[in-house]
Amino acid sequence: MKYKVFYIIIIILSILGFMLSLVACQKSDPPPVQIKEAHESPVTIDLTYLCNHLSKEMQDIDNTRTTFALEQINQKLKTCLPLLDFKQQLYLMHLSTQMYKKFLTVQRTPEEKNAFNSFALDMAQHPTIQQSHHQNFSLRDQYLLKHKGQAYIELHETDQHQLVYRRSPQYLARIFAPYFPKAERTFIENLAQQNMHNLFKNNRIVPDANEISERALFWENYVKQFPQSIYIQQAKYLYLTYSQLLFKGTAKDPVSDTYLGESSIQGDHLLAIEKLAKLDHSQLSEQARYFLKFIQLPPNVKRNQTGSSQLSSQLSHYLNLKIITFNQYFDCFSDAICLQRTS
């Protein structure tokens, strides 16, 4: 009987041991899973492809595109320009001028043209009511007016009170000039600053005489400092233009009618010329000194010296001041470069 009980206990213990082993196996942790870290390859931009196709993208821009398209191209220009030589940079700058010209072209019906002209008049006289004509504008006008200020687009009032769209003079100064040689960079950055506002309004000079004098001096020094600049002819033209404006003015805004004594000269011009005459090593300052001598000459001496009765011509002869026609071949007063006239 004892042995029977003993065997029963053995069997029971065996069964319990098997069951405990089974439970232990079920609760054991699963083997660790080896996870490999994913290493993504860095995304690379094919700059060669991007830059080689940039000119095609620029030429495809027209007056159906958006300012976003322009901004994309301008970002690509900032990427590509440092990688190109100067000749290639100039080519893209030429394309940019054509690109903006096409982008800002607006085709209007006679009714739309009248509505826009009315808007221009109202804007000049009452800027706060300019929205009243918008519904009568062409769709392109509505778009450009809504997005002016973006992508360097401006609504510009000309000296004849006409409103036109234009590319801001700061465009070339900020997008292209930083990558140009010093001579061309200096030309563009300074002309952009000078042309942010009109030089003329109703054929009258807008900047004061001191500003005109400073611009004339700048362009005189530029010609001396950068004789090899690709813009040397335009710089000479600007120097002669501002010299003429300083000493003679315009037909509607002359510096003097008689050039007889200091009292006959516009006050701000006289002060600027007197200040200029004190400088040395400048053709402009020498002309200023001759100007001050000229206005002290009696009328009969002036006529005898030149054989001409026209005071303006007499003054030009006395100062050795070359007579030029404003904007005859170049428009140097609306952008950061001088744009050649096509008509």
State the sign of the Cα–Cα–Cα–Cα dihedral 63, 66, 71, 76. negative
2 pLDDT more than 70: no
pLDDT band at 157 (very low <50, low <70, confident <90, very high): confident
Backbone angles phi, psi at 104, to 5 degrees: -95, 5
What digits encode the pLDDT tens for the residues 202-240?
A: 888 999 999 999 999 999 999 999 999 999 999 999 999
Give the position of tokens 């041991």. Answer: 17
309 pLDDT more than 80: no
Q: What is the pTM of this model?
A: 0.82
pLDDT band at 323 (very low <50, low <70, confident <90, very high): confident
For residue 64, give the DSSP letter.
T
Beta strands 163-167 and 204-205, pairing class: unpaired
Q: Two tokens at 114?
A: 């009248």
Is residue 318 within 8 A of residue 248, CB to CB? The reply is no
In the chain, pLDDT over 90 holds for what percent of residues? 63
User: C-alpha angle 217/334/214, rounded to 5°?
Assistant: 15
What digits encode the pLDDT tens for the residues 103-145?
A: 999 999 999 998 888 877 676 566 555 555 677 899 999 999 9
Distance CA 336, CA 343 (A): 20
State the sign of the Cα–Cα–Cα–Cα dihedral 284, 288, 293, 295. positive
